[in-house]
Amino acid sequence: MNATWQWAALGVCLIGSGSAWAAPPRRPPNILWIIGENISLDLGVYGAHGVRTPHLDRLATQGLRFTHCYATGPVCSASRSAFMTGMYQTSIGAHNARSHRDDGYRLPAGVRLLTHRLREAGYFTANVRRIGPREVGTGKVDLNFTWDGQLFDSEDWADLKTHQPFYAQVNLPEVEYDIYDRQCARKERVEWVGERDHEPIATPDNVRPPPYYPDHPITRQEWARYLNSVSGMDRRVGHILAQLEADGLTRNTVVFFFADNGRLEPRGIHWCTDAGLHVPLLIRWPADYPQPPGYRPGVPNHRIVSLIDLTATTLAIAGIRRPEGIQGEVFLGDHADPPRQYAFAARDRIDETVQRIRSVHDQQYHYVRNFLPDRPFTALNRYKEKCFLILPLMRQLHAEGKLDPVQAALMAPRLPDEELYDLTQDPYEIRNLANSPRPEHQAALHRLRAALDRWIKETGDQGNQFEPPEVVSRYEKEMHEWFGTPAWATRK
């Protein structure tokens, strides 16, 4: 069994395993995860335009801002299943969205939830919904498996001050810019902290949508809605951080802010694009604890990080040695692993839409492999078709011949077998270099292709085992009942 690391007055020492010295144990720090939903690097501190994010920008200047952090999947349930266990969703059978909720599926032997490990080490755990009478979090869990035991001890912020050390999550409301309110209308609207108390920063006149979408009033309207929702999210973060300070917890709490998956846009969420996988990560270290090696507040950190690394790193901060077999790595502290060379990601069935895509990022390139290329960007997903107004707009403009070549490429009847993008030169990923004759591109293609092959084999990727048709048909029925089926999808 792994030994436990205990905090000491001058840092961390290993006890119970023949350590050379020992010091009086010190209580480990509190740990707070603030989890955004459906955003990419759309904060002012990352250079985004059309947003106002002063609270997150300040958090970044006070701590670390990671520039190369990636989700393991472009949809919340797969990504959350990974970072709550420290295991790739493809390794533990949690890769299909909203799967295994009621079929009795359990995690493989030895795979455990982060909160269970922390509780055993003496941490109080919370998934915070309320600060006083105000709703600040959704309490979202959204894991693609069932589990034994209690996942969290509380959902009330008031319990944190009297139960230290604590590990708490605040799962922020979905950044979905009122799409449910405007089109879907399948759940009640909740007034969240900070949502309505600010003037919009982005307007259809001042936003710059990506070039793969048509420059159209609908596109601009949707982009402005998204950016304004990010500004509203920042207000909620400000309220959380202010309460942390008011309760006297700032100086002994490590604060993480990150997103569970990438941006809420048709080519972002659900797709292994940079927009669907590239997420913000900010970490502020508490003043009452010695700063870890390499901690340089306000200086951007370009180390590659996968969201599954949050698990091992959080355990290390709590004084727990990385469990044997866990796939995430420690990227902060005295016991940090060597920097990653690659960040891997996977997309499988989402709702009724069956797909299998794998991707790998390095510092410069992004390689994507489409295992089912006959299921393109335009394949039916009723949720996105109903709630993302850009999709039906593009169908209409494509039929009228009004899309430029970059935009029309999204409407192709088939995906490329392989994709390669140089993100330093092509951040929108519109120039596929997989067939480029240039030696540096071919070298990157072969290197990343080989890295992905190794990862698939070494991690036991289960994505080649597709679900039975009756499982998919259940989701087809459910999504039809929620969102309907567009007329074009019923024509023979």
User: pLDDT tens, position by position, for the chain (492 residues)?
Assistant: 333 444 543 344 433 333 333 444 579 999 999 999 999 999 999 999 999 999 999 999 999 999 999 999 999 999 999 999 999 999 999 999 999 988 888 899 999 999 999 999 999 999 999 999 888 999 999 999 999 889 999 999 999 999 999 999 999 987 755 444 445 544 434 343 344 455 778 999 999 999 999 999 999 999 999 999 999 999 999 999 999 999 999 999 999 999 999 999 999 999 999 999 999 999 999 999 999 998 999 999 999 999 999 999 999 999 999 999 999 999 998 889 999 999 999 999 999 999 999 999 999 999 999 999 999 999 999 999 999 999 999 999 999 999 999 999 999 999 999 999 999 999 999 999 999 999 999 999 999 999 999 999 999 999 999 999 999 999 999 999 999 999 999 875
**Structural domain 28-486, CATH architecture:** 3-Layer(aba) Sandwich (3.40)
Nearest to 361 by CA among 346, 345, 343: 343
- What backbone phi and psi angles, to 5 degrees, belong to 459? -95, 0
Chain center to CA of 473 = 27
CB distance 156 to 128 below 8 Å: yes
Residue whose token pair is 């140089």: 422
Alpha carbon of 85 to those of 104, 172, 219, 308: distances in Å? Answer: 18, 20, 37, 8
DSSP 226: H
Helix (H) or strand (E) holding 488: helix 487-490
Alpha carbon of 4 to those of 167, 208, 223, 357: distances in Å? Answer: 17, 50, 48, 38
Query: What SS3 state is found at 61?
Result: helix
For residues 179 and 220, give the distance between their C-alpha atoms in angstroms, rounded to a whole number. 15
Residue 170 has a pLDDT of 98
Chain center to CA of 269 = 10
For residues 268 and 49, give the distance between their C-alpha atoms in angstroms, rounded to a whole number. 18
What stretches of 268-423 show up as alpha helix (H) in DSSP?
274-277, 309-317, 382-387, 390-399, 405-409
Q: In what order do the strands lie in the sheet with 11-14?
A: 11-14, 5-8, 25-26
CB distance 162 to 156 below 8 Å: no
